[in-house]
Structure 1
Amino acid sequence: MFTIDDIREIAIQIEKNGEQAYRRAAAAADQPEIAALFTRMADDEREHAEWFSSIRSNRHLSGDELELEQMGRRLLQEMVANQTFSLDQQELRQVRDVEDSLEQSRIFEEDTALFYEFLHSMIEDVEVKSHLEVIIAEERRHAEQIAELADSDPVGL
């Protein structure tokens, strides 16, 4: 069982990681089109983190539910630790070129969307599910925008 608190804390960290990485990538980008894309994506990630921060649960858990919640928290932490959606700052610094940076970012967005889809299936609150669907769509749109930019080869990537 996953609680809203578990989901919120992990999602906030994912979004903060993304925002920081995209802001650094925007500052380092030589091409204005790429810098603008990374800046927009950083702004979106910040908004996602703000929304996740606003989620609160008033539900009190029974003893059995608390035990399940602890197991769920450990499972989520293990899942996040082994995934690329941390968008590791060192990995971004080590990229050889813009193409690598764009590819890492695309993978990050796809992994994040998949993770949120997994969480979506475990959430009961209709309003939370609905807003999470919007965020999933934005993460997917980010991946598509990155792929389109890489495919368009605007500056000879």
Structure 2
Amino acid sequence: MFNIDEIFEIAEQIERNGVIFYTRAAEKFSEYTKKSVFLNLADMERKHEKRFHEMRLELAGKEREISQFLDPQGEAIQYLRSIANSKVFDLISDPETKFKNVQSISDLLRVAIDIEKDSIIFYLGIKEAVNEKLGKEKIDLIVKEEMQHVATLTDLLESL
């Protein structure tokens, strides 16, 4: 069973992974417009990480105490970290693999939107493993933030 503090910690980790992923992807492109889109995506992830950290500090204190009692070895958070590092933003694989068919900024934004949608699916799935008393309803705040990220990317795509 997971708690909202653990979920917010993982949300922060996923955003940090996004910064690394998009920065590494930017390094693969010499064309300034593609490179700058990736660097802007990395910056968006930085802002998201900060937002999730603030939300975590505001919301998760009580749930953290309960969780430390139920899982003193922190096995649940270790499990979540392994998922965060390999499923949403895969830091093991070369980002070039994910962007190998990117021919335009539109293609690039579509891939980024798909990655963000994967994060929403991750959070909706993990929500089922959080007890009501451990902050289950607060996962909707994370999902809402991620949906705003998708909307921003979609707006960017539509403006091209």
1:61 aligns to 2:72 (yes or no):
no
- Superposed, which structure 2 residues align to 1:2-151 within 5 Å? 2-54=2-54, 55-56=56-57, 57-59=60-62, 60-61=65-66, 66-67=70-71, 72-73=76-77, 76-77=80-81, 79-80=83-84, 83=87, 85-88=88-91, 90-94=93-97, 96-99=100-103, 102=108, 105-119=112-126, 122=130, 124=135, 128-129=138-139, 131-141=141-151, 144=154, 148=157
How far apart in 1 are the matches of 2:67 and 2:101?
Answer: 52
Structure 2 segments unaligned to the other structure (5+ residues): none
Q: CA shift at 1:36, angstroms?
A: 3.3
Is the alpha carbon distance of 1:98 and 1:68 closer, same or farther for their aligned partners in structure 2, counting shifts above 3 Å? same
Cα deviation for residue 40 of structure 1 reads 2.3
Q: Mean alpha-carbon deviation: is it higher for 69-78 or for 33-42? A: 69-78
Tell me the distance in 2 between the aligned counterparts of 1:29 and 1:124. 41
Say which SS state the counterpart of residue 61 (structure 1) adopts: helix
- 1 CA distance for matches of 2:52 and 2:126? 13
Do the aligned residues in 2 keep the contact of 1:107 with 1:143 (CA within 8 Å)? no
1:143 to partner: Cα distance? 6.0
What RMSD in Å do the two structures reach over aligned CA positions?
Answer: 3.9
Report the AA paired with residue 66 of structure 2. L
The one-letter amino acid of 1:5's match is D
Structure with bigger RCO (C-alpha 8 Å, 6+ apart): 2
- Give the structure-1-normalised TM-score: 0.64
C-alpha deviation, 1:125, in angstroms:
7.3
- Assess if the C-alpha contact under 8 Å between 1:113 and 1:136 holds in 2: yes
Q: Sequence identity, in percent?
A: 23
Counterpart of 1:38, as a letter, is F
Provide, for residues 67-100 of structure 1, a one-character-per-residue CA deviation record: whole Å limited to 9, x for no partner: 49956436534544652x1233642145545349
